[in-house]
Amino acid sequence: MNIGIIGATGYGGVELYRILANHRYVENIHLYTSSQEKKSYIEEYPHLNHIDGGELKPLIPEQVKEENDVVFLATPSGISASLTPKLISDHVKIIDLSGDLRLKNAADYEQWYKKAPAPDELLQEAVYGLTELNHEKIKGAKVLANPGCYPTATLLGLAPLAKERIVKPNSIIVDAKSGVSGAGRSASLATSFVEIQDNFKIYKVHKHQHIPEIEQELHHLDEKIGCISFSTHLVPMTRGIMATMYIELLEEWNTSKLIDLYETFYAHSPFVRIRKNGSFPSTKEVYGSNYCDIGLDFDKRTNRLTVVSVIDNLMKGAAGQAVQNFNVMSDFAENEGLTLLPVYP
Amino acid sequence: MNIGIIGATGYGGVELYRILANHRYVENIHLYTSSQEKKSYIEEYPHLNHIDGGELKPLIPEQVKEENDVVFLATPSGISASLTPKLISDHVKIIDLSGDLRLKNAADYEQWYKKAPAPDELLQEAVYGLTELNHEKIKGAKVLANPGCYPTATLLGLAPLAKERIVKPNSIIVDAKSGVSGAGRSASLATSFVEIQDNFKIYKVHKHQHIPEIEQELHHLDEKIGCISFSTHLVPMTRGIMATMYIELLEEWNTSKLIDLYETFYAHSPFVRIRKNGSFPSTKEVYGSNYCDIGLDFDKRTNRLTVVSVIDNLMKGAAGQAVQNFNVMSDFAENEGLTLLPVYP
Amino acid sequence: MNIGIIGATGYGGVELYRILANHRYVENIHLYTSSQEKKSYIEEYPHLNHIDGGELKPLIPEQVKEENDVVFLATPSGISASLTPKLISDHVKIIDLSGDLRLKNAADYEQWYKKAPAPDELLQEAVYGLTELNHEKIKGAKVLANPGCYPTATLLGLAPLAKERIVKPNSIIVDAKSGVSGAGRSASLATSFVEIQDNFKIYKVHKHQHIPEIEQELHHLDEKIGCISFSTHLVPMTRGIMATMYIELLEEWNTSKLIDLYETFYAHSPFVRIRKNGSFPSTKEVYGSNYCDIGLDFDKRTNRLTVVSVIDNLMKGAAGQAVQNFNVMSDFAENEGLTLLPVYP
Amino acid sequence: MNIGIIGATGYGGVELYRILANHRYVENIHLYTSSQEKKSYIEEYPHLNHIDGGELKPLIPEQVKEENDVVFLATPSGISASLTPKLISDHVKIIDLSGDLRLKNAADYEQWYKKAPAPDELLQEAVYGLTELNHEKIKGAKVLANPGCYPTATLLGLAPLAKERIVKPNSIIVDAKSGVSGAGRSASLATSFVEIQDNFKIYKVHKHQHIPEIEQELHHLDEKIGCISFSTHLVPMTRGIMATMYIELLEEWNTSKLIDLYETFYAHSPFVRIRKNGSFPSTKEVYGSNYCDIGLDFDKRTNRLTVVSVIDNLMKGAAGQAVQNFNVMSDFAENEGLTLLPVYP
Strand partners, C294: C274, C309
pLDDT value of position D35: 76
C91: CB partners within 8 A, 6+ apart: C69
D window 261-300, beta carbon within 8 A of B: 273, 275, 279, 281, 284-289, 291, 293
Percent of chain A with pLDDT over 90: 97
Q: Judge whether A154 and A214 are in contact, CB under 8 Å.
A: yes
pLDDT tens track for B128-144: 999 999 999 999 999 99
Give the nearest chain B residue to C182 (CA atoms): B194
Sheet of C173-178: strands edge to edge?
C201-203, C229-234, C173-178, C241-247, C304-311, C292-299, C272-274
* Cα A17 → chain centroid: 16
pLDDT tens track for B193-214: 999 999 999 999 999 999 999 9
Q: Judge whether A262 and A274 are in contact, CB under 8 Å.
A: yes
Strand partners, B324: none
pLDDT value of position D52: 82
Q: Which residues of D touch B285 (CB under 8 A)?
A: 46-47, 49
Q: Which of C341, C317, C36 is nearest to C181 (CA)?
A: C317
pLDDT value of position C193: 98
Q: How many helices (H) and strands (E) does chain B have?
A: 12, 14
D268: CB partners within 8 A, 6+ apart: none
Per the annotation, the verdict on D149 as an active-site residue is yes
Q: Do B237 and C197 touch (CB under 8 A)?
A: yes
Phi and psi at A196, nearest 5°, equal: -100, -40
Q: Do D187 and A189 touch (CB under 8 A)?
A: yes
pLDDT value of position B98: 98
Phi and psi at D283, nearest 5°, equal: -65, -35
Eight-state DSSP code of residue B318? I
pLDDT value of position C177: 98
pLDDT value of position B37: 64
Q: Judge whether D314 and D289 are in contact, CB under 8 Å.
A: no
Tally C-beta pairs within 8 A across C and D.
142
Answer whether residue A26 shows pLDDT above 70.
yes
Give the nearest chain B residue to D20 (CA atoms): B341
Q: Which of B284, B303, B344 to mutate to test the interface with A (most CBs of A within 10 A)?
A: B284
Size of chain C, expressed as the number of residues it contains: 345
* Cα–Cα distance measured from residue A297 to residue A304, given in angstroms and rounded to the nearest whole number: 9
Q: Judge whether D340 and D289 are in contact, CB under 8 Å.
A: yes
* Cα A228 → chain centroid: 19
Distance from CA of C87 to the nearest CA of D (A): 38
Distance from CA of D284 to the nearest CA of C (A): 5
pLDDT tens track for C249-285: 999 999 999 999 999 999 999 999 999 999 999 999 9
Say whether C150-313 and C2-125 share the same fold.
no
pLDDT value of position B29: 97
pLDDT value of position D54: 81
* Cα–Cα distance measured from residue D108 to residue B134, given in angstroms and rounded to the nearest whole number: 63
Tally C-beta pairs within 8 A across B and D.
77
Percent of chain D with pLDDT over 90: 97
Give the architecture-level CATH label for domain C2-125.
3-Layer(aba) Sandwich (3.40)
- Cβ-nearest to B341 among D21, D284, D341: D21
The number of beta carbons lying within 10 Å of the beta carbon of residue C180 is 27
Task: Assess C206–D contact: CB distance below 8 Å, yes or no.
Answer: yes
Distance from CA of C174 to the nearest CA of A (A): 24
Task: Assess D197–A contact: CB distance below 8 Å, yes or no.
Answer: yes
Answer whether residue B88 shows pLDDT above 70.
yes
The CATH homologous superfamily of the domain defined by B150-313: Dihydrodipicolinate Reductase; domain 2 (3.30.360.10)
Q: Which residues of D touch A201 (CB under 8 A)?
A: none
Q: Do D345 and B198 touch (CB under 8 A)?
A: no
Answer whether residue C37 shows pLDDT above 80.
no
pLDDT tens track for B155-165: 999 999 999 99
Q: Considering Cα of A107, then A113, then A115, then A120, what sign does the dihedral take?
A: negative
Cis peptide before B345 (omega within 30 of 0): yes
pLDDT tens track for C47-74: 999 998 788 999 999 999 999 999 999 9
Task: Assess C329–D contact: CB distance below 8 Å, yes or no.
Answer: no
pLDDT value of position C54: 82
Helices (H), chain C: 11-20, 41-44, 61-67, 80-87, 106-113, 120-125, 131-139, 149-164, 193-196, 210-221, 255-265, 320-330
Task: Assess A242–B contact: CB distance below 8 Å, yes or no.
Answer: yes
Q: Considering Cα of A272, then A275, then A280, then A286, what sign does the dihedral take?
A: negative
Answer whether residue B38 shows pLDDT above 70.
no
B219: CB partners within 8 A, 6+ apart: B225
Distance from CA of B202 to the nearest CA of A (A): 7
Q: Do D341 and B273 touch (CB under 8 A)?
A: no
Q: Which of B82, B94, B156 is nearest to B127 (CA)?
A: B94
Q: Judge whether D229 and D176 are in contact, CB under 8 Å.
A: no
* Cα–Cα distance measured from residue D212 to residue C316, given in angstroms and rounded to the nearest whole number: 38
pLDDT value of position D38: 65
Helices (H), chain B: 11-20, 41-44, 61-67, 80-87, 106-113, 120-125, 131-139, 149-164, 193-196, 210-221, 255-265, 320-330
pLDDT value of position C38: 66
> 10-residue block means of pLDDT along chain D (345 residues)?
96 98 97 80 94 88 97 97 96 98 98 98 98 98 98 98 98 98 95 98 98 98 98 98 98 96 98 97 98 98 98 98 98 98 98
- Map out the domains of chain D as residue ranges: 2-125, 150-313
Q: Which residues of B touch A233 (CB under 8 A)?
A: 177, 242, 244
Touching subunits for chain C (3+ Cβ pairs under 8 A) = A, B, D
pLDDT value of position B34: 83
pLDDT value of position C53: 73
Given the residues B149, B247, B308, B323, the one annotated as active site = B149
Q: Which of C38, C42, C108, C32 is nearest to C75 (CA)?
A: C32
Task: Please give the mean pLDDT across all residues of chain A.
Answer: 97
* Cα–Cα distance measured from residue D275 to residue D44, given in angstroms and rounded to the nearest whole number: 39
